[in-house]
């Protein structure tokens, strides 16, 4: 008999360390980073992965989620104060991010040329426990990069850069980015905000680029930031520029002088702790950055960075949702009515198939995320001379005159990856929710660590901000049309570096057709590494011929299919390289096959490349290895002790 306090209560295990329990992440790290870097970073990641699921952090998340930000409009004597109030949890989580080096590692090249990859591992581990602090940190990262490129004539640029990239939270600042207006966020050309040069201010400040700005910004998420980058049109007399310019403003003095007013905070589906506001600018003081009418070029470098952050954030949610689903499957018993049929969810093949499917998708996406991070780091090193211990005033301006294939890939891959991953993650988190039944749907403050619903709500925004899927798709097609030679050369180089060129004998590695139980003639049953390689190669050729086909309509509905196809294809190339080489992409073009190919990697590769075609032949026993990194008997032994 059951009562509110007696009878059956479902056990709920504590979530494991988010770094050590994530086998997908471990494999991707080993692929992208040299051993010396992993040895240096791993102890820190391990302690961060443990902290992210600690009671201390979950208390802060609970506080941030349950005390939404608000605007205190007036003081007791009726004077307008327009003060933003955020929660203790929100402010503390921001400090955790800064102290952990999320801003400093990449910007200050703490791990030299591997800093971007190392930093994005942290961002991935942080996002699900950050209550969306990851959003202002992403914009801060982008702003620091812009300052590194365009520091000349920006007052106190060195100090601002140092504060944005600082570990000490008492000294650190964050930055916001205001692009979206009521006229549109996808297309900002109709921006209504105007900037007028203020000669008196220029004389007082000793620079010739100080402007007064009037306008209304429709979305500002980092409303508690100290600095901001935004777009406006310069007005001179009655003439208004048609092109946009980018400006850097400081919020503390502007707020104090009443030059920026929070019109209201937005009511949103998710991202509840994030103070997303509408802002009115009135004589707002700001400095032109990066040159007149160069706004889109300047802000594009922010977008490229924030898109990789969107990817790491949403994959962090996905990884956490999967972590919950994995732990729950270990303890949830079904078929209680008959003890003969009673078993744990991990013993149900259909359930394991679902978790394996999600796990391998997450693995492919994680490789894409770190690939974007690597490309970003390389292009910054090349263009800015970062990684050589230079300080901002020594940075060179980027040389856009000499396109380089890998630099061009670094411009497209963040958008490609975000377009693919942001949407697929929503579906994946939803699948994890269903796998936990009704518990997955709950928003119980008593178990904030198992609040999967919050992750589903918060993941939705990643498909909208920093470019919707269709907008990214059209941008990609247009960009490739304009820069076809160099982008396609970049993709050809990637193909050569991952799946090799010319003849190689890898036919010995036939995927085991017996495992599917349907014999040799089953669909996909004769897949070999060679055939997987041929499939990837021919898909890339087909993709390239489609995108360069003059008949192809760039504004048509096919753009979206092309962008997601490219994302899948690049993930397949990376998984292939990891399977055959068992490690980092080599600079050598010759394909050296590792004799001891990991059967789990091979299985993941085949499932990813052949998808539904291979479904019939999947090796079911490997589901356990894909999901838990151990075989069935080992897993059952482990859970019997729970
Ligand atoms: C929680 C949240 C926080 C945000 N924070 C910020 C912030 O801090 N700073 C900031 O600047 N912005 C911010 N944004 C705004 C966000 O970047 C925009 O909402 C986004 O860029 C879309 O712009 P929009 O809302 O004007 O939609 P629109 O641009 O009107 O788009 C509406 C639809 O039209 C489609 N569309 C538009 N143009 C095209 C085209 N050319 N081809 C095909 N389809 C098209 C889009 O795909 C979309 O489906 C935030 C948004 C949210 C939800």
How confident is the model over 305-320, as pLDDT tens digits? 999 999 999 999 999 9
Residue at 551 is within a domain: yes
Ligand 1, from 133, 180, 249, 462: best to mutate by most atoms within 8 Å of Cβ?
180
Residue at 118 is within a domain: no
Question: 């990789």: which residue's tokens?
Answer: 308
Atom 22 in ligand 1: residue holding the nearest Cα: 185
Strand pairing category for 239-240 and 343-344? unpaired
- The enclosing domain of 211 has a CATH number of 2.40.110.20
Residue 170, phi then psi, degrees to nearest 5: -75, -20
Q: Name the domain count of the chain.
A: 2
Residue at 555 is within a domain: yes
Q: How sure is the predictor about 602, in pLDDT bands with cuts at 50, 70 and 90?
A: confident
DSSP 394-423: GPPPP-TTS--HHHHHHHHHHHHHHHHHHH
d(CA 555, CA 560) in angstroms, rounded, equals: 10
Closest CA to 193 of 206, 174, 175, 212: 212
Listed residues 297, 323, 343: the one ending a domain: 297
Residue at 616 is within a domain: yes
Does residue 264 contact residue 71 with C-beta atoms inside 8 Å? yes
| Kind plus residue range of the DSSP H or E element containing 281 | strand 277-289
Return the pLDDT at 402: 46
Which has more confidence, 274 or 618? 274
Listed residues 297, 327, 355: the one ending a domain: 297
Listed residues 236, 269, 297: the one ending a domain: 297
pLDDT at 529 over 60: yes
Does residue 276 contact residue 219 with C-beta atoms inside 8 Å? yes
Q: Give distance in angstroms: CA of 622 to centre of ligand 1.
A: 42
What is the residue-averaged pLDDT of the chain? 88
pLDDT at 399 over 50: no
Specify which residues 74 forms β-bridges with.
80
Atom 48 in ligand 1: residue holding the nearest Cα: 468
As a whole number, mean pLDDT of residues 431-450 equals 96
d(CA 582, CA 596) in angstroms, rounded, equals: 9
Out of 374-383, 438-447, 628-637, pick the least confident. Answer: 374-383
pLDDT at 521 over 50: no
Residue at 11 is within a domain: no
pLDDT at 397 over 90: no
Q: Give distance in angstroms: CA of 177 to centre of ligand 1.
A: 14
Ligand 1 cavity residues, CB under 6 Å: 176-180, 184-187, 219-221, 268, 271, 276, 461, 464-465, 468, 470-471, 474
Tens of pLDDT, residues 4-17: 999 989 889 999 99
Domain span at 199: 175-297
Distance in Å from the first CA to the final CA of the chain? 25
Q: How sure is the predictor about 107, in pLDDT bands with cuts at 50, 70 and 90?
A: very high
Tens of pLDDT, residues 138-162: 999 999 999 998 888 888 899 999 9
Atom 24 in ligand 1: residue holding the nearest Cα: 185
Residue at 246 is within a domain: yes
Tens of pLDDT, residues 219-251: 999 999 999 999 999 999 999 999 999 999 999
Residue at 567 is within a domain: yes
As a whole number, mean pLDDT of residues 311-332 equals 97
Return the pLDDT at 505: 44
d(CA 109, CA 191) in angstroms, rounded, equals: 36
Strand pairing category for 175-178 and 227-236? parallel
Return the pLDDT at 551: 80
Q: Give 528's DSSP letter.
A: B
d(CA 329, CA 324) in angstroms, rounded, equals: 9
Q: How sure is the predictor about 555, in pLDDT bands with cuts at 50, 70 and 90?
A: low
| Kind plus residue range of the DSSP H or E element containing 139 | helix 134-149
Does residue 175 contact residue 114 with C-beta atoms inside 8 Å? no
Return the pLDDT at 405: 76
pLDDT at 425 over 90: yes
Strand pairing category for 80-85 and 70-74? antiparallel
Token pair for residue 438?
């009704």
SS3 call for 561: helix
Q: How sure is the predictor about 341, in pLDDT bands with cuts at 50, 70 and 90?
A: confident
Q: Give distance in angstroms: CA of 188 to centre of ligand 1.
A: 10
d(CA 507, CA 295) in angstroms, rounded, equals: 53
Ligand 1 atom closest to 180 (CA): 11
Strand pairing category for 227-236 and 194-197? parallel
DSSP 620-640: TTHHHHHHHSS-HHHHHHHHH
Ligand 1 atom closest to 185 (CA): 23
């Amino acid at each position: 008999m059951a009562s509110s306090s007696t009878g059956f209560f479902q056990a709920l295990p504590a979530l494991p360390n988010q770094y050590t329990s994530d086998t997908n992440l471990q494999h991707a790290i080993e692929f992208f980073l040299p051993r010396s870097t992993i040895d240096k970073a791993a102890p820190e990641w391990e302690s961060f992965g443990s902290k992210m699921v600690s009671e201390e952090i979950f208390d802060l998340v609970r506080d941030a989620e349950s005390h939404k930000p608000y605007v205190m409009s007036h003081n007791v004597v009726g004077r307008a104060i327009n003060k933003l109030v955020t929660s203790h949890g929100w402010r503390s989580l921001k400090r955790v991010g800064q102290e952990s080096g999320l801003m400093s590692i990449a910007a200050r090249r703490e791990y030299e040329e591997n800093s971007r990859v190392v930093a994005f591992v942290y961002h991935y581990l942080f996002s699900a426990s950050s209550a969306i602090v990851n959003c202002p940190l992403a914009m801060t990262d982008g702003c620091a990069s812009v300052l590194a490129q365009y520091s000349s004539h920006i007052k106190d640029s060195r100090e601002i850069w140092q504060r944005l990239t600082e570990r000490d939270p008492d000294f650190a600042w964050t930055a916001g980015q205001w692009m979206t207006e009521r006229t549109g966020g996808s297309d900002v050309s109709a921006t209504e905000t105007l900037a007028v040069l203020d000669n008196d201010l220029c004389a007082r400040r000793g620079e010739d680029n100080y402007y007064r700005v009037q306008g209304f910004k429709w979305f500002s998420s980092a409303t508690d930031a100290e600095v901001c980058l935004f777009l406006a049109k310069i007005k001179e007399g009655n003439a208004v520029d048609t092109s946009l310019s980018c400006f850097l403003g400081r919020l503390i003095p502007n707020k104090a002088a009443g030059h920026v007013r929070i019109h209201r905070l937005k009511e949103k589906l998710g991202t509840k702790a994030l103070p997303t506001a509408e802002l009115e600018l009135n004589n707002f003081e700001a400095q032109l950055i990066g040159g007149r009418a160069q706004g889109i070029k300047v802000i594009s470098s922010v977008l490229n960075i924030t898109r990789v952050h969107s990817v790491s954030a949403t994959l962090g949610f996905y990884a956490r949702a999967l972590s919950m689903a994995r732990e729950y499957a270990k303890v949830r018993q079904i078929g209680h009515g008959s003890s003969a049929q009673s078993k744990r969810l991990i013993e149900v093949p259909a359930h394991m198939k679902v978790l394996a499917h999600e796990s391998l998708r997450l693995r492919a996406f994680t490789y894409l995320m770190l690939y974007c991070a690597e490309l970003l780091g390389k292009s910054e090193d090349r263009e800015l001379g970062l990684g050589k211990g230079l300080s901002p005033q020594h940075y060179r301006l980027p040389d856009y005159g000499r396109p380089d294939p890998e630099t061009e890939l670094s411009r497209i891959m963040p958008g490609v990856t975000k377009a693919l991953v942001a949407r697929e993650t929503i579906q994946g988190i939803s699948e994890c929710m269903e796998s936990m039944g009704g518990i997955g749907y709950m928003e119980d403050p008593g178990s904030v660590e198992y609040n999967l619903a919050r992750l589903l709500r918060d993941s939705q925004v990643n498909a909208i901000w920093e470019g919707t899927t269709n907008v990214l798709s059209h941008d990609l097609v247009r960009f490739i049309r304009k820069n076809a030679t160099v982008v396609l050369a970049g993709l050809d180089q990637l193909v050569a570096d991952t799946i090799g060129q010319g003849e190689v004998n890898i036919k010995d590695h036939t995927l085991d057709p017996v495992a599917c139980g349907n014999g040799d003639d089953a669909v996909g049953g004769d897949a070999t590494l060679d055939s997987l390689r041929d499939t990837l190669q021919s898909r890339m050729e087909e993709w390239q011929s489609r995108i360069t086909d003059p008949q192809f309509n760039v504004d048509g509905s096919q753009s979206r299919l092309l962008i997601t196809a490219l994302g899948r294809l690049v993930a397949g190339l990376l998984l292939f390289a990891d399977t055959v080489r068992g490690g980092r992409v080599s600079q050598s073009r010759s394909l050296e096959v590792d004799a001891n190919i990991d059967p789990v990697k091979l299985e993941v590769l085949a499932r990813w490349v052949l998808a539904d075609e291979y479904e019939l032949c999947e090796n079911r026993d490997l589901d356990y290895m894909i999901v838990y990194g151990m075989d069935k008997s080992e897993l059952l032994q482990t859970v019997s002790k729970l």
